[in-house]
Amino acid sequence: MASKLITLCTTSLLLLLLCSPSLANYSFSSIFNTPETICENTRFPHFCKSSLPHNKPGTIHDYAKISFQQSLSHAQRLPSTLYKSTILALEDCLFLAQENIDYLSYVMETLKSSADDALQGYQAEDLQTLLSATLTNQETCLDGLQYRSSSSSIKNALLVPISNGTMHYSVALALFTRGWAHSTMKGRYLTERKHVFSDLEDGASKGLPLMMSSKDKQIYDKVVVVDPYGSGKFRTITEAVAAAPNNTFASNGYYVIYVVAGVSNEYVSIPKSKKYLMMIGAGINQTVITGNRSVDDGWTTFNSATFAVLGQGFVAVNITFRNTAEAIKHQAVAVRSGADMSTFYKCSFEGYQDTLYTHSLRQFYRDCDIYGTIDYIFGNAAVVLQNCNIYSRLPLDNQFNTLTAQGRTDPNQNTGTSIQNCTIKAAKDLASSNSSTKTYLGRPWKEYSVTVIMQSFIDSVIDPAGWSAWSGEFALSTLYYAEFNNTGPGSNTTNRVQWPGYHVISGTEAANFTVSNFIAGGFWLPGTGVPYVGGLQ
């Protein structure tokens, strides 16, 4: 395992440094620069400048060649000793390192196949999304090592080189942001896409309005049924997922898994190879997928999820996802999504702390119910929750509730949490108690946390201050928290926090966090058949 981790980490860092000169070529390939001009717009200018020679100016290519050698030397110094006491955290790091290799390889191939000035707006958005995710993956690895490692020698051996890798990722993302102009997504969808999901009988669709390809194949041609009681083709969801084809394209349509009513005590993982998979249940609280893994029982937060999905284009409909670990078990995830262009429609997410882990890439949630206590919508995806019900539950004594804990670590990441036209209320257990529990809209998990609440109903469960600090003054000037045109007794912003990063925004600013502009939903949501509003409502 030790040699494999080193190989993955080495390749991951090297790929990123290989990527960064290609990114910069767009604007600077023929211009002579000094490290001061090359590095000035990065988050770590001192690190960037200190790694480049100052004796003569050069092109971005010249500096890149030096960076290649430095990257290789850095990788060769990576520690070679790993301990079984951190096996779960190391497994997370191995997994995430391979993800980064894949993302960066795709970035490099895209840039190689595109002539200068040839990137379209959606391509620039895609590549920035992937580069943002590499930073998120690196941070997740660090979080796991810091939380789970019982050995100071492991931390000393791994945290410093991985942190240096993070700086390389950040520099590359900054160069990309500087090197390519991002086209504004055109066409704001102001009307709702109205599609009605039909019932399924005997594994066949009676007319789901989702098209499988440009040839207009009907989706019912690819429906399989999961029934633990024996009437379907598969007894478990895992078996049905394994049978799905690998690495399909959007034009191939969806592989549809219908899960009958009942409770599935099953930990489900949708790997990255299972693209454009649609999972449909019988309804909220009818089809239930449940587990009880938690950090207190030895799992990392990342791997505590009852349901984890990575496959691009995943769609879930009419399913309850549940983690039954109680509040006393602390972090316990019901769903973790790192699937780009993933969609959850009419689903329920039930847990306490860390219920819904919107880990990375682009995601959309519509007409869903989310239950939790502390940080129960968290992660660093670019995510829009639209027309959802967000319910704060009764936490442990002396705890407070926070709806969100957004995890953006770099100002160039195109990530954040947008909550639009949702209802924010107390769950029944909190509403019926005499508890003095305070509930807040969110707190900054990471330094550049971004959360926007707009056009939503906020009940009196929310404290007048609105938002909570994470630790002292941490991130209060670098976060971006905003509210726009909310209603309800908890929406009054008169007594909100006075942080530099908190804003009451205009419609023009709020439009940046809509489905069409924030997650490029106009390009991929129509094909799901899920209703959405692309702009402000």
Tell me the mean pLDDT in the region 314-335: 95
Please tell me what DSSP assigns to residue 199.
P
Residue 188 is assigned to a structural domain of this protein: no
H/E run at residue 50: helix 45-50
pLDDT tens digits, 130-140: 989 999 998 99
Nearest Cα residue to 477 out of 456, 497, 452, 448: 448
Predicted confidence (pLDDT) per residue in 394-448, tens digit: 999 999 999 999 999 999 999 999 999 999 999 999 999 988 999 999 999 999 9
Boundary residue ending a domain (117, 151, 181): 181
Residues 175 and 223 in one domain: no
Residue 216 φ/ψ, nearest 5 degrees: 65, 35
Query: Which of these, 364, 346, 325, lies nearest to 520 by C-alpha position?
Result: 364
**Token pair 């705890």 is at which residue?**
399
How many percent of the chain have pLDDT more than 90? 55
CB-count exposure of residue 170 (10 Å: 0-12, 13-18, 19+): buried
Read off the CATH number of the domain in which 481 is found.
2.160.20.10
As given in the structure block, the two tokens for residue 529 are 């058949």
At 479, is the pLDDT very low, low, confident or very high (cuts 50, 70, 90)?
very high
Q: Is residue 23 part of a domain?
A: no
Q: Mind listing the pLDDT tens digit for each residue in 250-305? A: 888 899 999 999 999 999 999 999 999 999 999 999 999 999 999 999 899 999 99
Residue 89 lies in a domain: yes
CATH number at residue 173: 1.20.140.40
pLDDT of 52: 65
Mean residue pLDDT of the chain comes to: 81
Q: What is the pLDDT of residue 31?
A: 59
Is residue 347 domain-shared with residue 434, that is, in the same domain? Answer: yes
196 in a domain, yes or no? no
Residues 432 and 297 in one domain: yes
Residues β-bridged to residue 366 = 345, 386
Query: Could you say which of 354, 367, 375, 459 is catalytic?
Result: 375
Q: Considering only residues 283 and 537, tell me which one the structure prediction assigns the higher pLDDT.
A: 283
Domain assignment of residue 336, yes or no: yes
- pLDDT, tens digit, 9 for 90 and up, residues 70-84: 433 333 333 333 334
Is residue 143, in this structure, part of any structural domain at all?
yes
The predicted pLDDT at position 24 comes to 35
Highest mean pLDDT among 95-104, 126-135, 199-208, 362-371: 362-371
Can you tell me the distance from the alpha carbon of 194 to that of 367, in angstroms, rounded to the nearest whole number? 13
Instruction: Calculate the alpha carbon distances from 413 to 3, 16, 74, 228, 365 in Å.
Output: 31, 15, 25, 42, 21
Identify whether residues 238 and 90 lie together within a single domain: no
Q: Does 162 map to a domain?
A: yes
Binned at pLDDT 50, 70 and 90, residue 15 comes out as: very low
Q: Which residue has the higher pLDDT, 533 or 216?
A: 533
Residue 438 and residue 461 in contact, taking contact as beta carbons nearer than 8 Å: no
How many domains is the chain partitioned into structurally?
Answer: 2
Residues 342 and 473 both lie in one domain? yes
Which phi and psi (to 5°) does residue 22 adopt? Answer: -60, -40
Residues 6+ apart with CB under 8 A from 225: 200, 203, 231, 232, 233, 234, 257, 258, 259, 260
pLDDT in tens, 202-240: 333 333 434 333 333 344 456 889 998 877 789 999 999
Same structural domain, 377 and 428: yes
- Three-state secondary structure call for residue 251: helix
Say yes or no: 368 and 248 in one domain: yes
DSSP H or E run through 507: helix 507-510
pTM for the model stands at 0.85
Q: Which domain holds residue 408?
A: 219-528
Domain check: are 270 and 337 in the same one? yes
Instruction: Grade residue 14 by pLDDT with cuts at 50, 70 and 90.
Output: very low
- Average pLDDT of the residues in 294-319: 95
In this structure, the answer to whether residues 229 and 285 fall within a common structural domain is yes
- Per the annotation, the verdict on 375 as an active-site residue is yes
Per the domain annotation, does 245 fall within a domain?
yes
| Distance from C-alpha of 2 to C-alpha of 428, rounded to nearest angstrom | 49
Q: Do 524 and 404 fall within a single domain?
A: yes
> Could you tell me the CA-to-CA distances from 248 to 103, 433, 524 in Å, in that order?
17, 50, 15
What is the predicted pLDDT for the residue at 137?
Answer: 92
Both 100 and 225 in one domain: the answer is no
Q: Domain boundary residue among 134, 156, 181?
A: 181
Top-ranked range on mean pLDDT: pick from 94-98, 137-141, 202-206, 310-314: 310-314
Question: Residue 10 corresponds to which amino acid?
Answer: T
**Does one domain contain both 261 and 148?**
no
pLDDT attached to residue 142:
87
